[in-house]
Amino acid sequence: MTYQPQKDFGTPESRSDEAVSLTIDGRDVTVPAGTSVMRAAAEQGTSIPKLCATDSVKSYGSCRLCLVEIDGRRGTPASCTTPVEPGMVVRTQTPQLAKLRKGVMELYISDHPLDCLTCAANGDCELQDQAGAVGLRDVRYDVQSTHLGQAKDQSNPYFDFDPSKCIACSRCIRACDEVQGTLALTMEGRGWDSKISAGFVSDNFMGSECVSCGACVQACPTATLVEKKVVEVGTPERSVLTTCAYCGVGCTFRAEMRGEQLVRMVPYKDGKANRGHSCVKGRFAWGYAQHQERILKPMIRKSISDPWREVEWDEAFAYTASELKRISATYGRNALGGITSSRCTNEETFLVQKLVRAGFGNNNVDTCARVCHSPTGYGLKTTFGTSAGTQDFDSVEDSDVILIIGANPTDGHPVFASRMKRRLRGQDGRPGAKLIVIDPRRTDIVRSPHIEAQHHLPLRPGTNVAVLTAMAHVIVTEGLVDEAFIRERCDWDEYSHWAEFVSQARNSPENLQPVTLVDAEDLRAAARLYATGGNGAIYYGLGVTEHSQGSSTVMAIANLAMATGNIGRRGVGVNPLRGQNNVQGACDMGSFPHELAGYRHISDNNARSLFENDWGVTLDPEPGLRIPNMLDAAVDGVFKALYCQGEDILQSDPNTAHVSAGLAAMECVIVHDLFLNETANYAHIFLPGSTFLEKNGTFTNAERRIQPVRKVMTPMNGLEDWEVTQRLAQAMGLDWNYSHPSEIMDEIARLTPTFAGVSFARLDEVGSLQWPVTADAPDGSPIMHIDGFVRGKGKFVVTDYVPTDEKTGPRFPLLLTTGRILSQYNVGAQTRRTENVAWHPEDLLEIHPVDAEDRGLKSGDWVKLASRAGETTLRANVTDRVAPGVVYTTFHHAVTQANVVTTDYSDWATNCPEYKVTAVQISASNGPTEWQEEYEALSARARRVETGIAAE
């Protein structure tokens, strides 16, 4: 396929059900009411010249190029701002229009550089196209004053701004306002002096509030805003649709290519998760895929004190299999285990758990979802019957009240946050949704342009359950429950038991205020708003799950939704915002040690025999070890070998000292990854991985949407990740013969009822499918629990607040909570190897001015952060975003190692670590801690490759 940009219909789609028929250039067309004449023409294949219109933003009517003639109308109206009417007769090409358009274009070109041949947008420029379309051949104006010759703003690492090429169409400003919702851009000056400005005159793009989402670059019709990569290599020649490998939103992108070289990632307008939008990570931060630090050859070593030795794949597989067999023979089969990755595809994940269950002969398989959303699986399965969110992302368009708890969507899930913000701002006369934010920090969404949360409840970290129980208290005692819904859809006895519990005086907001630190009146008002404000939707993240009561909090959320009838239709629901791209999929694929694919317990004889018959093996009916249990068993000397695919447990898991002790106690640690990550410091075998650009498969996003990942280039390491696992399985003696990931998906569909209707062919046909995809729902299930809960009756569970065992005291008086930032992703292994470091070169410690003053600290000072588990140093950022008594940091940088200080307390039900609450002390520091120095030395030693040159 030769390169074609995605079709631009000029103005946004109308959602009206009413159809309107009209005639354009003698041809009849029928479109929804509210459609512009421009879009109606585009729908029937007629291209009306345009410059200021694009279908991602509302019509503007400034360029005067899209003029048309309409029978019975005076003059020449702009087609972008004229809605269709029944029986309208439109002409888009007449001599009069041609003359007007040529005149308009002549004016534009009189103030535009004529360097088309050497311009980066040559061949992909709307101004150039329109000059051709109107037949402009000459510019008669002898312009004395122009806006040409201005300096470029090249401050952003991914795109340039060349004001001389700007035609002042405002598409970038409107994209920033309407699509992204940051409102970073404006037009300064008038006439010749008109100039797009990123804030103050002194601001450049980098210094401004711009979040580098790329919406302005996408909207720009000229080379004014253009990707640096296009400037460097030229325009693409083909494109392939694929799915982003960053967060759980799962944006669809066109990977635009030149041969096997990626030129740019362009958000796909028909992507059902992102609807044409992107963020700085997905659109721009893919440079890690070709980073020089990628390891491309397998490596082995006897001991972690030896340097690495590069080997061929055959030797690597033979050696790995012999080590695993040796350890199994020496210590028993339960000494082996594996960890699947939420960054890998469903097919790869499925194979790793199959290798463990069928090849290693035990159920010691877990996934990084253990440390993020395992409580979601437990909590939603218990209450609703399905371990997943209830809605699709589009649902937010029908929400009246949005409750965000323990999530920071503008940083963690930015593309969905933009859609949420659009609903919060209101649109076309429809008032915006109301917003409740429950978070210890004042996250960006609490107050951003045209958005102000009605209620921000800055709770003390660790008291989520108390806050939600207090909200339930208000809803029940003030008679705000949806009794009809509960009687019809839930177990009434369980409800009554729960209602009695939450109604107790000890659960009132006033009584719990000393614990939660949330103003009781504010909490009451928030509860009333959620219960009575119309469609109420709850969105939550790791601020809910990563607590000692993570599972309880998820169930408390489910209780609230059921009590108010906010389940089973658009605009409502319980929506976990998944951290990594395929957290949902990794959980679905049977990565947990107690569950087979489709969330069926390993002790379930029917489910197990289905797999046993298909795989021709006998499976152990007892659950295996979870990640923290594996590490404990390793320290005890009984767990000896770990296959770890695409996860860096040393950096991401809590209590680094304990993780490293566990890894150090193993005899065979196999790391399968792109880079020599931190875990690889303790590895004996390194199997190089492939990037999402180099393989086929599927990811499942936070809305249960299964989406294709397509190979656009040959794996630099030679094998796709599923091939590596298959070759290892073959070396272990397993008879696996998959020739393509589609065959793995066929097996998944065969063995997993909720995936019964999923296949690569179906996905190619429809783009994506939301499970369950069954005979009853062949096109998938955007909204769940519509007519009844999957488990039958919705289950109310009493969630009593139990304070965490992690206590503050005189030695550790502050509470540390951790989180993410927009420009970085998880442990930073990918984003730190891109230009995104320009935004976040180091992890900072946010500290309230009062706490900072008490300790004589100011922003930029080095501070020592100490907990009962360990200590590290980083620099302070004094801010009132955090409450007094609370400090906050991110965990994106290996140098900081925030997890040196986090403890191994965990969720009572799932062992999900309590990352969000650690008692700490802060003091001034003048250098790295002993741990940091020792670790740096260890890393340098551990990364030696026999050539003598360190690999990183």
Partner 1 sequence: MNSVERLIHMANQIATNLATDAAPVAAVADHIQTFWDPRMKKMIFAHGTDGLSPVAAAAIRLLAEAQNDG
Enumerate binding residues for partner 1 (CB under 8 A): 334, 363-364, 497, 501, 548-549, 552, 593-594, 601, 603, 622-626, 629, 632-633, 635-636, 638, 798-800, 802, 805, 904, 908-911
State which residue, 633 or 863, has the beta carbon closest to partner 1.
633
State which residue, 490 or 951, has the beta carbon closest to partner 1.
490
Distance CA 922, CA 286 (A): 36
State which residue, 152 or 601, has the beta carbon closest to partner 1.
601
Q: How far is the CB of 771 from partner 1 (least distance, A)?
A: 23
Distances (CA, A) of 410 to 183, 414, 447, 764, 840: 14, 4, 11, 31, 15
3-state secondary structure 213-238: CCHHHHHCCCCCEEEHHHHHHCCCCE
State which residue, 13 or 904, has the beta carbon closest to partner 1.
904
For 405, residues 6+ apart whose C-beta sits below 8 A from its C-beta are: 437, 438, 439, 464, 468, 538, 539, 540, 543, 544, 557
Q: Are the C-beta atoms of 444 and 408 separated by less than 8 Å?
A: yes
Residue 945 burial (CB count, 10 A): 19
Residue 428 burial (CB count, 10 A): 6
| Residue for token pair 């940051």 | 182
Q: How far is the CB of 657 from partner 1 (least distance, A)?
A: 12
Q: How far is the CB of 372 from partner 1 (least distance, A)?
A: 17
State which residue, 441 or 658, has the beta carbon closest to partner 1.
658
State which residue, 449 or 623, has the beta carbon closest to partner 1.
623
Q: How far is the CB of 366 from partner 1 (least distance, A)?
A: 11
Q: How far is the CB of 802 from partner 1 (least distance, A)?
A: 5
Distance CA 660, CA 33 (A): 63
State which residue, 92 or 918, has the beta carbon closest to partner 1.
918
State which residue, 552 or 651, has the beta carbon closest to partner 1.
552
Q: 874 is written with which tokens?
A: 């980083």
State which residue, 635 or 838, has the beta carbon closest to partner 1.
635
Q: How far is the CB of 887 from partner 1 (least distance, A)?
A: 25
Distances (CA, A) of 853 to 808, 848, 871, 884, 925: 20, 9, 21, 11, 15
State which residue, 896 or 911, has the beta carbon closest to partner 1.
911
Distance CA 714, CA 43 (A): 37
Strand arrangement, sheet containing 434-438:
455-457, 434-438, 401-405, 536-540, 574-576
Q: How far is the CB of 636 from partner 1 (least distance, A)?
A: 5
Q: 743 is written with which tokens?
A: 């065959």
Q: Residue 522, exposed/middle/buried by CB under 10 A (0-12, 13-18, 19+)?
A: middle
Q: How far is the CB of 903 from partner 1 (least distance, A)?
A: 10
Residue 292 burial (CB count, 10 A): 7
List the one residue out of 253, 285, 283 whose CA is nearest residue 269.
253
For 700, residues 6+ apart whose C-beta sits below 8 A from its C-beta are: 250, 346, 582, 584, 585, 588, 706, 707, 771
Q: How far is the CB of 504 from partner 1 (least distance, A)?
A: 11
Measure the CA dihedral 559/564/567/573, to 10°: -80
Q: 764 is written with which tokens?
A: 């190619």
Q: How far is the CB of 229 from partner 1 (least distance, A)?
A: 48
Number of alpha carbons in the 13 Å side-chain half-sphere of residue 376:
29
Residue 631 burial (CB count, 10 A): 25
Distances (CA, A) of 207 to 156, 157, 792, 825, 839: 9, 12, 54, 21, 10
Q: How far is the CB of 505 from partner 1 (least distance, A)?
A: 16
Q: How far is the CB of 638 from partner 1 (least distance, A)?
A: 7
State which residue, 635 or 950, has the beta carbon closest to partner 1.
635
Q: Where are the alpha helices (DSSP H) in 355-434?
A: 374-383, 409-412, 414-425
Distance CA 560, CA 490 (A): 13
State which residue, 638 or 761, has the beta carbon closest to partner 1.
638
State which residue, 179 or 641, has the beta carbon closest to partner 1.
641
State which residue, 603 or 618, has the beta carbon closest to partner 1.
603
State which residue, 633 or 713, has the beta carbon closest to partner 1.
633
| Residue for token pair 């249990």 | 629
Counted residue by residue, the chain has a size of: 952
| Strand positions, DSSP E, 205-302 | 225-227, 238-243, 252-258, 261-267, 299-300
Q: How far is the CB of 755 from partner 1 (least distance, A)?
A: 23
Q: How far is the CB of 800 from partner 1 (least distance, A)?
A: 5
Cα three-residue angle 725-730-733, rounded to 5 degrees: 135
Q: Which amino acid is at 697?
A: G
Q: How far is the CB of 493 from partner 1 (least distance, A)?
A: 10
Q: How far is the CB of 384 from partner 1 (least distance, A)?
A: 18
Distance CA 273, CA 782 (A): 11
State which residue, 520 or 798, has the beta carbon closest to partner 1.
798
State which residue, 904 or 952, has the beta carbon closest to partner 1.
904
Q: How far is the CB of 378 from partner 1 (least distance, A)?
A: 9
Q: Which amino acid is at 592?
A: F
| Residue for token pair 């659009």 | 422
Q: How far is the CB of 544 from partner 1 (least distance, A)?
A: 15
Q: Residue 811, exposed/middle/buried by CB under 10 A (0-12, 13-18, 19+)?
A: exposed
List the one residue out of 298, 146, 304, 112 whose CA is nearest residue 222.
112
State which residue, 500 or 934, has the beta carbon closest to partner 1.
500
